[in-house]
Amino acid sequence: MQASSVEIRKVNKFYGPFHALKDIDLSIPPGKVTCLIGPSGSGKSTLLRCMNFLEEYDSGEVRIDGQLIGYDAPGKRMSGRKLREMRRSIGMVFQQFNLWPHMTAHENVAEGLIRVRGLSKADAMTRAADALAKVGLADKMGNHPSRLSGGQQQRVAIARAIAMEPKLMLFDEPTSALDPELVGEVLNVMKTLASEGMTMVVVTHEMGFAAHVADQVAFLEKGELVDVDTPSGILHHPKDARIQSFLRTYHERNSF
């Protein structure tokens, strides 16, 4: 599998007067899993969404395999066609799944292959079936999203993304909307993907996943990248007081 790298340099993002991302520098190495953690409102989702330009950053650079995304040159917007070209190889999974409710699971996965990759309907349906089998949903292909559990819906959403054969996968809190007992099945699919050498960037509150699967963990707070380190460096030996306090709150909430 080809895997992309992401280079983020001095990225700033404003919502009106609100400074959502402050001079973010971050390197996402190819074939590795990077988790973005931090309190809500810290800018981690915004940063993730800058990587496929769903969110426009105001200054700085986000480069996918060296190519600037969203802009041809600083300040000069990229054409829609070129941006779509780049997005083809970037998969994204959302907190709310965002499956299309008027299509079956099978059609949800095949749609992009037909419309974006230009596959024939028959080829797209075969490839979609393979992708669904990979996430363990071969027997649910004909179901509409409303007839699937949250965990199954999120696995369909992952299948929809991986069917496009991306070189980079972005996960925006993929398990936050799930009932606790359904989190595991989604994380397992993500672990498989990681073991196959996919570059993954995961915004998550699952510290267990970050500790066991991530190669690096970045901690954000109030739009600042506080630290990037190995999972154990961030989670077990945090140097910054803000990370220590975040983890303390996390442990208090999760202990019984």
Partner 1 sequence: MFSIPVFFESFGPLLWAARYTLLISFLGIGLGLILGALICAARLSPYAILRRFAAVWVSFLRGVPLLVQLLVFYYALPVIGLDVPAFVAAIVTVGICASAYISEIWRGAINALPRGQSEAAIAIGMSPRDVWSRVVLPQAVSLSLPALINELILLVKASSLVSVVGILEITRSSQAQAATTFRPLEVYLAAACIYLMINLCLAALGRYLEHRTTV
Residues near partner 1, by CB under 8 A: 52, 54, 80, 84-85, 87-88, 90-92, 94, 96, 98-102, 111-112, 115-116, 144-146, 157, 160-161, 164
What is the smallest separation between the CB atom of 161 and partner 1, expressed in angstroms?
7
Q: What backbone phi and psi angles, to 5 degrees, belong to 130?
A: -60, -45
What is the Cα–Cα distance from 111 to 23, expressed in whole angstroms?
A: 37
What is the Cα–Cα distance from 3 to 41, expressed in whole angstroms?
A: 29
CB 231 within 8 A of CB 214: yes
What is the smallest separation between the CB atom of 249 and partner 1, expressed in angstroms?
28
Q: What's the maximum distance between 2 C-alpha atoms anywhere in the chain?
A: 56
Nearer to partner 1, 145 or 231 (CB): 145
- Residue 120: left (phi > 0), alpha (psi -120 to 50), or beta? beta
CA torsion sign for 66, 117, 168, 103 is positive
What is the Cα–Cα distance from 176 to 203, expressed in whole angstroms?
A: 10
Nearer to partner 1, 63 or 88 (CB): 88
What is the smallest separation between the CB atom of 105 and partner 1, expressed in angstroms?
12
Nearer to partner 1, 84 or 236 (CB): 84
Nearer to partner 1, 104 or 216 (CB): 104
Nearer to partner 1, 117 or 205 (CB): 117
At position 106, the amino acid (one-letter code) is H
Nearer to partner 1, 91 or 223 (CB): 91
By C-alpha distance, which of 141, 124, 142 is closest to 133?
Answer: 141
What is the smallest separation between the CB atom of 82 and partner 1, expressed in angstroms?
11
What is the smallest separation between the CB atom of 243 and partner 1, expressed in angstroms?
30
What is the smallest separation between the CB atom of 5 and partner 1, expressed in angstroms?
19
By C-alpha distance, which of 208, 180, 227 is closest to 25?
Answer: 227
